[in-house]
Each structure stands twice: as C-alpha cells, then as structure tokens.
Amino acid sequence: MTQRRPIVDALIQHQNREPISFHVPGHKHGILSGLPKEIQSALHYDLTELTGLDDLHYPEEAIKDAQLLLAEAYGAKESFLLVNGSTVGNLTMIHAVCKEGDVVIVQRNSHKSIFHALELARLRPVYVSPQWDEESMTAAGVPLKAMEAAIEAYPEAKAVVLTYPNYYGMVSDELRTIIALCHKKDMPVLVDEAHGAHFQAGLPFPVSSLVLGADVVVQSAHKTLPAMTMGSFLHVGSNRVSVKKIQKYLRMFQSSSPSYLILASLDDARSYLQNYSQPDIRVFIEKRARFLSSLRMIPYLTVVESDDPLKIMLRVDHHSGYQLKQQLEQAGIEVELADLFQVLLILPLLKQWHAYPFAEIRSRLKVAVLGLEREARQETKLMVQQQLDVTVPELSFEEIDLADQEWISYTQIIGRIAAGMVIPYPPGIPLMVAGEKWTLTKVEELMNYLASKAQIQGDHRLESKQLPVLQQGAPENK
C-alpha cells in the first residue's frame, strides 16, 4: 500500500508557488468565472500541461508515476488514466486489436459505446446472447455453452468483447473458463468492466476480470470509486495486445486538453482503493447488513442483493421501478436507475471513519414506499425473448450506411430491419442495433418502456410513434 498521489502532489506544489496565469484555460484560476464560489475554488487546479505537471499523452513525470502506481495496484502489465470516460477505453481497446472487416464476437447486452466502436472500426460483429438472471431480473453474462458455439461457428474471429459485471452487479462464474477457451483459440478478450473498478479491494467483492485473465479491461473509476465523472482506467493484462497501439488510439480518442481535476481525482481514487483495508471492509459490510435489515422491515418493499455488495435493487409489487423512482426523488433520494420492475442503488464504498445517513435514508424510503401504495397499480408483463445463442446482423455497417431508409410507425415495424439504435437509458444497453430485425417481442418490450415513461435514446421519433428502418428491398445477408 502507498499513500503517494503524484498528480495531486504536483498540483499542490504548483499552486503553492502562487503563479500568475497567462495560459489556458481562460477562467485564469477561476478569477473570471461566474460559477458558485465552491466551484470557483476548484478552478485553481484546473490547469494545462505546464512545467512540472507532465503531459497525459507523453507522460514522463507525475502522470507516469501515477500510472505506474495504478498498474501496481491492479496487477496489470500497464495501466492508463482516462479522462473521457470508459467510452474512450472501449473505443481504444477495440481499435487497437481489430482492423476493418474483422469478425468480432460480442456480448449482446454490451453498452452502446461498444456498438459505436464496432461501427467506427467497420467490424463484422457476431452477437452472443446473455442468459437471463431471475434474481436480478436482468440480462447477465454470456454462458460458456453459447461462447463455445460462437467460437466454433466463427473460428476466424479476431477478438471477444465481454461485459462484466452487468449494470446491476451480477457476475458470471464461468468467465475464467470462457477467457481460457478464447486464449486457446488465440482470441484476445476485451472486457468492459465499467462497474468493477472496486473489485480489487478483495472479498466479499467479486474477482476482477483482469485477475481472471482478460487481456484489456476498462473500468469507470467514477462509478464506484471516489473519482470525478468521466474518470476511468484502462488496464493491459497480457502481451496479446500491443501497448503501443493502445497508446496510439488513446492519443487519437482522448482530448488533447485533458482535465487535471479528473486526473487528480483518478490519482486519489487509486490511492483510496489501494489503502482500503480489511477493517474498512469489515465495517462497510456491517453497516450494509444493518441497513438492508432495516429496509426489509418496510411494508411492501422487497430488497434484492447483487453479486456485488455495492449494488442493491428495490421493488414494490404491482408498481414499476419508474413509479418508485419518482416517489423516491420526491422524498429526496436519487437512485442510479429505474427499470420496468425495480430501482438500483449504488452504495458508497465507505471506510471505517465515514458516516452516512442510513437511518434518515430508511425513513425517507418508508415514506416513498407508502406513498407509492396510494398510486394506481401498474402490471408489467415480463418479455424474455428466446434468442438464439449466436446471431449476426442482417446487414453490415457499410451496407446500412449505403441503403435507403424510411420512417414508419412502430405498429408496422415487425419484420423490418432497424436503421438505428434504440437505447433505454440508463443503463445504455441497446434494445435494437442497426442491422437487426424487429420482432414482436422487441416491439412489446419497447411498448413496455414507453408505457412506463422510460427515457429512450438513439435514432427515433417516438413522440410521433416512428422509427427508422431500411426500405423494403434492401439486401439481406443469407
């Protein structure tokens, strides 16, 4: 363990000299800013690549030291700080491994940034369906059997892209075997581990995919560690992936003016995790257990635990998660997301001296749940599509771009090929991806989301009940 925070220390040392700014950014240490005073004070550290502060794209000093400490903390061959979120990490790892036209095996319930990376790189995705998890009522990991079928059908695949854990903290106990199978076929495994940056703390948290043998792992430090929004990590775990190519694409995709506030928060988050002790874990688990026990005493409320102790799901029978979320917000509680059945809470990764108002939270939750019981009941039919283990889009990304498109009512869309993504957000997992064919089940699932007033991102005109499809007669893959 180490208390060192090279980037934080460099910023403090720089400010102790009380320099006068004749450089960017234009707020001049916050002097010209009209933001609230609390934010203005942080702008003293919103700097650029000055002497002594290093350069993210060619690090030689504080940033280099911070990345070496990061790799040491996670047991990686090499690690990188990301200031453009896990999105830039996902773009980078896919471009660093694949070239245009390559076949890539991809977990179908991946984040939208994975699909954007596939499209930008002009790859040929093979989608592997996840298994349905009855406990969390979500799509979880890819079963080993499905991965075996995908590799057998597409042995020419250049990489495998997986998500672990899923948004709700559910993990696959087959991942180690899946990674070993991919390596046996000389396929690097790229993992979007956005919600697992804290796994390195050890039991009772799940094991990181990096420990299980993944070749590149991307983590959102801002999701579960005390980093600022957009702060993420990328770890290279093996020699199957070129570190030089990772560096090349990070220079392309990351901002040429990286935020030193985000970099400092990543440095601090790594130190926080690296110094997270067994007594810290013990106190956290004890506080969590008391909190969950108190929640289970609230009438009508069901508490569902995840594989990840930081995640819990709350449900109220005969009411959607969106209804519960609205009541909770009125009670002053903001949750991570709502879906058709539940809300998701991400607990704080507390250390032993931290206080958190669990008693007050429990009191507000009770008020929200009792208020929900006075609302009209909402029955949502669960639509779990019986998908094939392995599927491919009807058309390539290039064919979709070249094909003529039209907008039609979603009441007439069954059997048509989607021309864009439809994404319930959060969690950002596409319901439909361009090139896939609309089915009755997919339309019914969309209708459920709309009836529950879920936020839908992507290519749509849902206010007029229209979605884009390829015009009839567009060529289909056979």
**Which range is least confidently modeled, 121-130, 196-205, 421-430?**
421-430
| Statement: residue 325 has pLDDT above 90 | yes
pLDDT attached to residue 147: 97
**Which range is least confidently modeled, 130-134, 414-418, 448-452?**
448-452
**Which range is least confidently modeled, 214-228, 262-276, 281-295, 438-452?**
438-452
* Mean pLDDT computed over every residue of the chain: 94
User: What is the pLDDT averaged over residues 142-164?
Assistant: 97
pLDDT attached to residue 3: 86
Q: Which of 382 and 146 is assigned the larger pLDDT?
A: 146
Interatomic CA distance for residues 347 and 212, integer angstroms: 25
**Which range is least confidently modeled, 63-77, 254-268, 445-459?**
445-459
pLDDT attached to residue 37: 95
pLDDT attached to residue 472: 80
pLDDT attached to residue 274: 97
Check if the beta carbon of residue 84 is closer than 8 Å to that of residue 254: yes
**Which range is least confidently modeled, 325-329, 375-379, 398-402?**
375-379
pLDDT tens profile 12-27: 999 999 999 999 999 9
Burial class of 70 by CB neighbour count within 10 A (0 to 12, 13 to 18, 19+): buried
User: What is the pLDDT averaged over residues 58-70?
Assistant: 98
| Statement: residue 387 has pLDDT above 70 | no
Burial class of 334 by CB neighbour count within 10 A (0 to 12, 13 to 18, 19+): exposed
How many whole angstroms from its chain centre is CA 469?
Answer: 28
Check if the beta carbon of residue 395 is closer than 8 Å to that of residue 477: yes
Q: Which domains does the chain have, with CATH numbers?
A: 6-275 (3.40.640.10), 278-373 (3.90.1150.150), 393-470 (3.90.100.10)
Torsion, CA 326, CA 141, CA 395, CA 240, rounded to 10: 130
Interatomic CA distance for residues 205 and 196, integer angstroms: 9
User: What is the pLDDT averaged over residues 89-94?
Assistant: 98
| Statement: residue 289 has pLDDT above 90 | yes
In terms of pTM, does the model score above 0.85? yes
| Statement: residue 144 has pLDDT above 80 | yes
Residue 313's φ and ψ, nearest 5 degrees, are -115, 140
| Statement: residue 478 has pLDDT above 50 | no
| Statement: residue 386 has pLDDT above 60 | no
| Statement: residue 74 has pLDDT above 50 | yes
pLDDT tens profile 334-371: 999 999 999 999 999 999 999 999 999 999 999 999 99
pLDDT attached to residue 452: 80
The share of the chain scoring above pLDDT 90, in percent, equals 83
Interatomic CA distance for residues 312 and 48, integer angstroms: 40
